[in-house]
Amino acid sequence: MTGQNKEKLFFFSNNCSELEITPGSIYHAYLAILNDDLDSAHTVFSHIDSPRGKWGMSLVSILKGYMTIFPTYFGIRNFFEIDLDFLLKNNKIDYVEQCLGALEVLSSVNQEIYKFTARVMMENRLYTSALKYMERSKQIFYNDPELHFMYVKYYMNINKYEEAYFYVNECLKLLPDYYPAQQMKRRIEELGF
């Protein structure tokens, strides 16, 4: 990677110091995004015959502010979280806003999009936003054990154990053998709830 301050970049790993970016690679396309060269990113993605390349063309369309290339269900499931996190960690706030602005349209392709968004917000300690997107997800599909477990982690982070206990029980109603929820329930009970 020449001409870039590698220490300040996040390329799907915390250490980019040894990262080599070859022309025409996925990394090349993402570097173009970081450099606000969306046309070049689109060109690179269009020459990559893979699900990631197809998703990348949709992503560039989203980042440009008008979706002309719609992603697939699996494209969203496999790559949206990764790329939203990538944009957040690289402080590409305008692009993050474009992604968030596209959620309603994307939810018509994959209804789990709000849950994916919430998970990225939790990972980046944006708890208010995480709660907002968990609530949107809950309106679409309440009976999602993974979503309930996310609520448990959210409420544990803010020391609201009664709410965490409610959601861990909701999770276990739907998936009684979910080991992380079983452990979390024991932990909450040890706290007196």
Q: Report the pLDDT value the prediction gives residue 152, as an integer from 0 to 100.
A: 98
pLDDT at 1: 42
Dihedral sign for Cα atoms in the order 156, 158, 159, 161: negative
| Local confidence pLDDT in tens for the 193 residues of the chain | 444 444 455 555 555 556 678 889 999 999 999 999 999 999 999 999 999 999 999 999 999 999 999 999 999 999 999 999 999 999 999 999 999 999 999 999 999 999 999 999 999 999 999 999 999 999 999 999 999 999 999 999 999 999 999 999 999 999 999 999 999 999 999 998 8
In whole angstroms, how far apart are CA 58 and each of 33, 48, 80?
13, 13, 10
Rounded-to-integer distance, Cα 38 and Cα 16, Å: 22
pTM of the full structure: 0.88
Q: What is the pLDDT of residue 192?
A: 87
d(C-alpha 144, C-alpha 156), whole Å = 19
Alpha-carbon gap, residue 160 to 193, rounded angstroms? 11
Distance CA 71, CA 106 (A): 8
Contacts by residues 161-165 (CB-CB < 8 Å, ≥ 24 positions apart): 161/188, 161/191, 161/192, 161/193, 162/193, 164/188, 164/193, 165/189, 165/193
| Residue 179 parent element (H or E) | helix 179-190
